[in-house]
Structure 1
C-alpha cells in the first residue's frame, strides 16, 4: 500500500529537551493506527507537526508527498481533533459543525445529525458552557462526519462516559468499513481501543518503542506463573519485562513469542502461562525503557520493514 505519511529522523526540541528524538515512521493509507504512550511521551507533538500546528527542529515530514506547513493542498485533506480545541466564546455546536461542513469536502451532514442525536448534544448552548464530555462529543462528531482522508483523534473521549465512548468506537468502525480512510487514534485507554486499531505505534520519551501490525503484537509477550525457582530457571536468558513474587509463587512476564515446543515445556514443568494484553505489554515496555535497560526489547522490536532503534 502507498504511504500517506512519511517521517524521517524527526526531532522537535524545546530549549534543552527533545519532545521528539529522531522519530522515523511510515503510515499507509486506509488503516486505523493506534498512537499510544504515556502523557508527555510526544504523541501530541508528533500529530501537531503532521497537521502543521507546529514545526520540526530537524528531520523530514511528508504528508501526501508534501510538507504540510502552510500547504492548503495537504491541510484540506486532514482533520485534527485536538483534546484542547479552542472555539470563539459565543460559538455553539451548530456554528462549529457549519464551519466544518464548509471546510471538509467529504462532510456528511446526515451522519453528523445522527451523531448529535446519539450523543444527546445540546445544540443551542455555547460551547464554552458545555461539559467536558459534551465538548469531546463536538470534536468526535467533526472527526467522524468530516470523512477526511487522514483523521487524527488526540485523546478524543476525555469526559465521555462509558456509553458515549462505546458509541464513538462503534460508529468509527462502522463508518470506516463503508468509507475507508486513514485514522490515527491517540489514546491511553489502550485496552478499550485495542480491538479498533490495525497497527500499533508506541512512543516513549520522544522515541519509537514499537511500530507493528496489531496481530503481530498480540503474542509478543507471555506471563509465566508458578514455583519461583522453576520460573526463574525457565526464564533465564530471556527478556524479562516484569517480575512479581508472592511467597513461593512468581509471576514473570517475558518478551518473545513462544513456540509450541516451548509451551509444552512450560506445561511439563508444572508452570502456567497467562496471556499479556496489549495494554500490559505497552506498560511493561515503557517501564523497562524508562528504567534505562538498554538490552530490553525496545532495542530490537521488529517492524514490517525495519528494526526500530
Structure 2
C-alpha cells in the first residue's frame, strides 16, 4: 500500500476524568493537540500519560467528560479507529507470530500503511522479519512497535514510551526516521516520554501532566522563551544572577572557570530588563532545555 497524504487530526479533551476504583488517574483534563503537530506528552511516571492516550485511542471510556478527535467521539467510531494508531511499550502485537505476520495483519487495518517504510525501518533497526515477536529482546520489541507505528502513517499516531529498552543509537535512529517521514507525510504525532532532553528538537507543542491534571499546554517555542541559559565566567554569572529578582534558577553547571545557569522567568517570557542585564554584563544568553523547565514546573527532581 502507499500512504495517502494527510495533515493529521486534531484532539480535544473536555473535563476528562478517568477513575480506576478509588484511584483517579485523570482529573478534569482539558487540552487540545493541534492537527499536524509533533506534540510531546510529558510528565513523570504515574502522571496519567498512558491513561490519556488510551482514552484518546478509545481503549478506555472516560468516567466523566469527553474526548473529541477530528470533532467526533472516537469510542466505537469505525471511521476514526482506522485513522488512530497507539503504540504502547507493552505492545499490541501477536507475540507468538513472526514479524512478517504481524506486519501483514497490521497493514490490513490501516489504509495509510506503507510497506516500503516498514521494510526500511526493519533494516534500520536490524530486525529479522522471520523471527517471532516473543524471540525479540525488549529493545527489539520496542523497535518493532516503532516500525508499526511509523509505517501506519495514521493521521493520529501516538507513541507511548516506545523507546524503553533501546540503546542510544537506536533511539536516535528512531528520532531521525520519525522526523524525516513526518516532513514528507505530515500527520499528528504524540510522543509520550520522560526522556525530554532527547525529544527537545522534535517538539512543536507540549502538554505537561502532573498527578492526573494538566499543568500546561503550550507551543514548545513559547515555553522555551520562558527561560534561558546564562553563560560566562563563574564570578560574572553569579554576580549577575544575584541581581535578577524575577527569575528562578533551574540548574547550574561549571566547567573550569566557566559557568552556565539555566533560569526561568516569572512571566510568559523573560523580561527585556533581565535580558538587557545579562547582555550588559557581557554574558551569553542561550536557549534553555525543556527538560529543565518541565522538571521545575512539576516541582520534583527527576
Listed one character per residue, the Cα deviations across residues 10-55 of structure 1 (whole Å, up to 9, x for unaligned) are 1112233321111111122111111111111111000000001111
**1:125, CA displacement in angstroms?**
1.7
Match of residue 227, structure 2, among 221, 237, 244: 221
Contact residue 13 and residue 19 of structure 1 kept, 8 A: yes
Match of residue 253, structure 1, among 257, 263, 269: 263
Q: Map 1:48-67 onto structure 2 (within 5 A).
A: 48-67=54-73
CA distance change for structure 1 residues 121 and 269 in 2, over 3 Å: closer, same or farther? Answer: closer
Contact residue 198 and residue 214 of structure 1 kept, 8 A: yes
Work out the CA distance in 1 between the residues paired with 2:262 and 2:146.
Answer: 39
Q: Which structure carries more relative contact order (alpha carbon 8 Å, separation 6+)?
A: 2
**1:276, CA displacement in angstroms?**
2.5
1:106 maps to which residue?
Answer: 112
Listed one character per residue, the Cα deviations across residues 261-299 of structure 1 (whole Å, up to 9, x for unaligned) are 3223245568876652111111111126x9xxxxxxxxx
After superposition, the CA RMSD in angstroms is 2.8
SS at match of 2:10: strand
The reply to whether residue 134 of structure 1 matches residue 146 of structure 2 is: no
Work out the CA distance in 2 between the residues paired with 1:64 and 1:228.
Answer: 49
CA distance change for structure 1 residues 112 and 254 in 2, over 3 Å: closer, same or farther? Answer: closer
2:32 maps to which residue?
Answer: 26
**1:227, CA displacement in angstroms?**
7.9
More deviation, 134-143/165-174:
165-174
2:243 maps to which residue?
Answer: 234
Unaligned runs of 5+ in 1: 291-309
**1:241, CA displacement in angstroms?**
5.8
CA distance change for structure 1 residues 258 and 4 in 2, over 3 Å: closer, same or farther? Answer: closer
Contact residue 87 and residue 159 of structure 2 kept, 8 A: yes
Unaligned runs of 5+ in 2: 1-6
**1:149, CA displacement in angstroms?**
0.7
CA distance change for structure 1 residues 230 and 64 in 2, over 3 Å: closer, same or farther? Answer: same
The reply to whether residue 282 of structure 1 matches residue 299 of structure 2 is: no
Match of residue 275, structure 2, among 239, 249, 263: 263
Work out the CA distance in 2 between the residues paired with 1:129 and 1:2.
Answer: 34
TM-score, L = length of structure 2: 0.84
Aligned length: 286
Work out the CA distance in 1 between the residues paired with 2:190 and 2:45.
Answer: 17
**1:87, CA displacement in angstroms?**
3.4
1:293 maps to which residue?
Answer: none
- The list of structure 1 runs, each at least 4 consecutive aligned residues, that deviate by more than 4 angstroms after superposition, is 223-233, 241-246, 249-252, 267-275
1:192 maps to which residue?
Answer: 198
1:5 maps to which residue?
Answer: 11
